[in-house]
Amino acid sequence: MRKNTKIIIWIIVLAFGIWGIGSFLITKQKSTSYAGFVFGKTISYRDFERMRKLVEFFLAAELQTKDGPTPDLPEQYIYQATWEELALQHEAKKRKINVTDNEVRQAIHAILGAQGPISDRVYTDWTMRTFHEQPRYFEEGVRNMMCTRKLLASVADSVTVTPEEIKQAYFTENREIYLLDVLFSFDESRQTMPVSELINEEKKQEYVSRNLQTYTQERAQAWVDNLTNKGISFNDAAGADKFSVEDMGWIKGNEEFIELAVEPGSITSIRELGAGSVSAATFSRDGYRVFYVKEVKEPTEEEFEKDKDEFTKKWIGLKKREALTTFLRNLLAQAKIESYIPVKS
């Protein structure tokens, strides 16, 4: 399969990497005559099982390393991927996306690694052994999956990026900023949060847990506002309030922010700040952080011209992934998937 990627790309590459983004799967312990619903349409146990086998087969083929064993995929992941594939197929049919018999034949030849004609007996034996199905059901499944890959390809190909957007993105992405930060931790806030005496002792812990995030954010933002109004330096303000300042050094990519579990939208805002700027109170894994931009190094025109081609490919790829993620999230929300199949956690 890996040697014939161009032929089977519709089957594997575009979707398996982004399956699982939806949290729209509703599992109910019911005993019914069908497996569930997709877009209000009932899905029989037989149809679901046929699709599940195909999904598991292609996922395993995609994840298998050259020498290592095929990783065990959680049952819940496979089932969710199956439901999402059924939702994609519903949309592909709605848009009247078709795949020719010749395209199906080429894909099956690639899957089997065949260079010439395939023996009917060998082919039938393989489908029965692999899927416990007659060839026509396997072919129908491959055709449907190729239709969904064409659907996803059309979404990705609809993405357009102008040279101006690429240049702006490059200069934003490649800015280096020297950062300091102060953490207002949730642990500290839990110890210092004022609790009214009117609250019953048994309810105090519940009150603290419910209001911890808001209290920590307000505490951090109040310090930012006070710092700004007084017009004193970040280090002097932190020293006066006995806050510990962390020197993060030069930051170029998003890795350091990701380690702190800072929200993506906040990362973008912080990286666009100028030298001497202070961020708003920013949510992170451990509490709310206040960032100070000590210094900025802007990329040069010469660097942009040198990196332009490589960065353009990278940026367009990113925009396509974002478009696919948004498309799938919206589609799955509309699909209102319901599953009546018990899944092991």
The per-residue pLDDT for range 239-286, each reduced to its tens digit, is 988 999 999 999 887 777 888 888 878 888 888 899 999 999 999 989
What average pLDDT does the segment 80-88 reach?
93
CATH class of 175-297: alpha beta
Average pLDDT across the chain, whole number = 84
What sign has the CA pseudo-torsion 274, 275, 276, 278?
positive
* Tokens read off for 312: 């353009």
DSSP 2: G
Residue 153 has pLDDT above 50, yes or no: yes
Q: Band the pLDDT of 74: cuts 50, 70, 90.
A: confident
pLDDT at 75: 84
Q: Band the pLDDT of 12: cuts 50, 70, 90.
A: very low
pLDDT at 29: 47
The residue ranges of DSSP E strands in the chain, in sequence order, are 26-27, 36-38, 41-43, 176-185, 245-251, 282-283, 287-297, 338-339
Q: Report the C-alpha gap between 83 and 17 in whole angstroms.
A: 15
What average pLDDT does the segment 274-299 reach?
93
Q: What percent of the chain has pLDDT over 90?
A: 54
Residue 99 has pLDDT above 50, yes or no: yes
First to last CA, the chain: 31
pLDDT at 219: 92
More confident call, 7 vs 100:
100
Distances (CA, A) of 315 to 14, 89, 154, 159, 266: 17, 29, 18, 11, 20
Q: CATH 1.10.4030 in the chain: give the residue spans.
A: 2-160+313-339
For the sheet with 338-339, list strands across it: 26-27, 338-339, 36-38, 41-43
Q: Report the C-alpha gap between 217 and 291 in whole angstroms.
A: 14
Distances (CA, A) of 274 to 32, 108, 186, 267: 61, 56, 28, 14
Residue 59 has pLDDT above 90, yes or no: no
More confident call, 186 vs 112:
186
Distances (CA, A) of 286 to 180, 217, 222, 253, 289: 16, 12, 18, 21, 9
pLDDT at 262: 86
Q: CATH 3.10.50.40 in the chain: give the residue spans.
A: 175-297
Q: Band the pLDDT of 24: cuts 50, 70, 90.
A: very low
Three-state helix/strand/coil letters over 99-120 = CCHHHHHHHHHHHHCCCCCCCH
- What is the fold, at CATH topology level, of the domain defined by 2-160+313-339? Triger factor/SurA peptide-binding fold (1.10.4030)
More confident call, 70 vs 233:
233
